[in-house]
Amino acid sequence: MINKTIYLLLIVLLTGAGCKKDGQTVNQKTDSGITGGNTGSTTAIVKGADLSWLTQMEASGYKFYNSAGTQQDCMQILKDKGINAIRLRAWVNPSDGWCNTSDVVAKALRAQKLGMKIMIDFHYSDSWADPGKQTKPAAWVNLNFATLNSTLKDYTVSVMTALKTNGITPDWVQVGNETSDGMLWEDGRASIHMANFAALVTSGYNAVKSVSSTTQVIVHLANGYDNTVFRWMFDGLKANGAKWDIIGMSLYPSTTNWQTYDSQCLDNMNDIVTRYNTPVMIVEVGMDASQATICKSFLTDLISRVKSVKNNEGLGVFYWEPEAYNWQGYGMGAFDASGKPTVALDAFAN
């Protein structure tokens, strides 16, 4: 338990600059059980995209076109732009069915057929989870903590098993999405119940490894420039015996502060590598789609900085929902209004 003053300060830090994706606007945004190692590369980092909206967009009649204007499969377009990995969010029981287990498997199969690596992003919710909300799935609301913990483990195993049954072994799995103040509130709110959050992370970790020992487990926070929050969180997790393989982060700068954010993010990544002996990965980035040239500069710089992380421990960069154009009010994709990729994605070609 932390005192009230520190708690209120943390809530301001954690929610003030998070990434909001579920509405019409977007704001700016091994030791002691920790595993890690020199698994990165300065010359061949992962270049990825979260395409979780793709099947829903396609069902709504959306088409995608390459830079020459020829209609193509969206994943193929992105592969041709240098994207080599796909990230997919998993929701427990979404009301409309999108991003449930069967939808995740369907998209993962498509990515695998194109030879792309796969990341699964467990939100442990029926809908969006982020720094401002970590709502339990409706079916889990009344569970005591011990049962909640075991239910998280069983659900994780079930999704991993569904993937395995279809011949899919994810390269990475996130146990929680932007968990800057934990997940499955209030039981797993880190600023109040850090030990509970650590237990949930460890249960997710063990569940993933029980199905696929080679899959790397990620703990993901928002605001990759904010070293104070990262130190607070991972010091707390470490002290409570949590297990993870990679530390993930989001980075959503504006067109005017991206250079500052990139510099602060690199400092944070280097500190994390040293402090926790843990590789790092940028699992979400985005910028105003109407400023594609600036976004390309931002991405080019960020990719270069990730490659420069000490000990080759900067593993990759994932763009969040680049395919989203004229879609649910989201304005930080990387396709234009005609369904073609913008120049921003050219940053992934090198």
* Dihedral sign of CA atoms 55, 58, 62, 66 in order: positive
DSSP helix, strand, coil percent of the chain (3-state; round to 5): 40, 15, 45
Task: Report whether pLDDT(337) > 80.
Answer: yes
pLDDT band at 339 (very low <50, low <70, confident <90, very high): very high
More confident residue, 200 or 24: 200
Q: Is residue 36 part of a domain?
A: no
- pLDDT, mean of residues 230-239: 98
CA atoms within 13 A on the CB side of 290: 3
Q: Say what the pLDDT of residue 261 is.
A: 98
Range of the domain at 230: 45-349
Task: Report whether pLDDT(119) > 60.
Answer: yes
Distance CA 278, CA 221 (A): 14
**CATH number of the domain enclosing 184:** 3.20.20.80
Task: Report whether pLDDT(8) > 90.
Answer: no
Distance CA 145, CA 157 (A): 18
Task: Report whether pLDDT(39) > 80.
Answer: no
Question: What's the pLDDT tens digit per position in 87-98?
Answer: 999 999 999 999
**What residues are annotated to the active site?**
178, 284
Question: What's the pLDDT tens digit per position in 282-298?
Answer: 999 999 999 999 999 99
Q: Is residue 126 part of a domain?
A: yes
- pLDDT, mean of residues 331-346: 98
Q: Dihedral of the CA atoms 149, 153, 159, 164 (nearest 10)?
A: 170
Q: Is residue 273 part of a domain?
A: yes
Q: Say what the pLDDT of residue 15 is.
A: 46
- pLDDT, mean of residues 19-47: 47
pTM: 0.91
Task: Report whether pLDDT(36) > 80.
Answer: no
How high is the mean pLDDT of the chain?
Answer: 91
Q: Say what the pLDDT of residue 306 is.
A: 98
Q: Is residue 242 part of a domain?
A: yes
Count of domains observed in the chain = 1
Burial of 100 (0-12, 13-18, 19+ CB in 10 A): middle
Q: Say what the pLDDT of residue 43 is.
A: 54
| Neighbour-count burial for 277-315, b at 16+ CB within 10 Å, e otherwise | bbbbbbbbbbbbbebbebbbbbbbbbbbbbbebeebbbb
Q: What's the token pair of residue 154? A: 């069983």
Task: Report whether pLDDT(11) > 80.
Answer: no
Question: What's the pLDDT tens digit per position in 204-218?
Answer: 999 999 999 999 999
Distance CA 146, CA 250 (A): 30
Distance CA 307, CA 134 (A): 32
Nearest to 152 by CA among 137, 131, 170: 137
φ/ψ of residue 221, rounded to 5: -115, 160
- pLDDT, mean of residues 167-175: 98
Task: Report whether pLDDT(275) > 50.
Answer: yes
Task: Report whether pLDDT(13) > 80.
Answer: no
Q: Is residue 4 part of a domain?
A: no
Task: Report whether pLDDT(37) > 80.
Answer: no
Q: Say what the pLDDT of residue 23 is.
A: 37
Distance CA 136, CA 335 (A): 33
Q: 82: which DSSP letter?
A: T
Q: What's the token pair of residue 222? A: 């928002």
Question: What's the pLDDT tens digit per position in 133-170?
Answer: 999 999 999 999 999 999 999 999 999 999 999 999 99
H or E stretch at 318 = strand 314-320
Q: Is residue 32 part of a domain?
A: no
Task: Report whether pLDDT(40) > 80.
Answer: no
Distance CA 133, CA 184 (A): 9
For residue 89, give the 3-state DSSP assignment: strand
Q: Say what the pLDDT of residue 350 is.
A: 74
DSSP 121-142: EE--SSS--BTTB-BPPGGGTT
